[in-house]
Structure 1
Amino acid sequence: MAKYEKTISGKFEEVLHHLENDIDSSGITMNLVDESNYTYGDTSIAVRVYDKYFMRNGSRASLSLTIVGKGSGVFISAIGAGGGKGIVFNFSLGAEDDMVAVVERSVEALE
């Protein structure tokens, strides 16, 4: 499992669209599985779940992205999972790290 979290200043919708574009363009096998959007008062929440096939090891990995915005504060959480091999022992081959790194680079480009 890999994880990246950061709070930045910005507009929720702009941050969301920037991240979506960068994730979508990060690889031909990147796939948006599902999404959820919720607004409560002045707080907006977006959840995105992606998966990606990695040919180098024949596995799939998932990326769960949560973005919470209130005012000019935007919290971003990216959690990558899967991408390993093995039935009893899950040997990670780094696929989840690669997916989370896409989000980290995208956030750094916003700052």
Structure 2
Amino acid sequence: MAKYEKCVHGDFNKILEQLDEDIFKSGLSIELVDKSNYEDENVKMAVRVYDKYFMRNSSRASLNVTVIDSGRGVFISAIGAGGGNSAIFNFSLGAESELTEVVANSVRRMGLKSE
């Protein structure tokens, strides 16, 4: 498992759109498995679950991205999991880290200021 988290200032919708675009650009075999959105008068939240096939070890890994706008800032959490190709050992050759790094790079390229 690999995790990336960051609190930033920026437009929730633009951040979500850019993350989605950058994640899809990261590989042909990545797909959006499902998504969930929630909004009330004070909070916006989006959850995205992606799946990617890795040819190098014939496995799949998932990327879960959560973006929350509390009105004071935007919290971004990316968790990569899976990627192992064995029933006993979870040896993924870095598949989870590769997926979370896509999110980290996207946030860096957006130039968002940290909280």
TM-score, normalised by the number of residues in structure 1: 0.96
Q: Deviations over 1:61-102 (max 9, x none)?
A: 000000001225110000000011221221232111100000
Name the counterpart of 2:80: 80
Q: Deviations over 1:26-46 (max 9, x none)?
A: 100010000000002221000
- Contact map agreement 1:84 1:91 (CA 8 A) in 2: yes
Name the counterpart of 2:8: 8
Q: Please, which moves more after superposition, 43-52 or 92-101?
A: 92-101
Matches within 5 A, 1:4-83: 4-71=4-71, 73-83=73-83
What 5-or-longer segments of structure 2 have no aligned partner?
none
TM-score, normalised by the number of residues in structure 2: 0.92
Name the counterpart of 2:108: 108
Runs of 4+ in 1 over 6 A off after TM superposition: none
Q: Please, which moves more after superposition, 33-42 or 84-93?
A: 84-93
% same residue? 57
Aligned Cα root-mean-square deviation (Å): 1.0
- Contact map agreement 2:5 2:78 (CA 8 A) in 1: yes
- Contact map agreement 1:10 1:72 (CA 8 A) in 2: no
Higher strand fraction: Structure 1 or Structure 2?
A: 1
Count of aligned residue pairs for this structure pair:
111
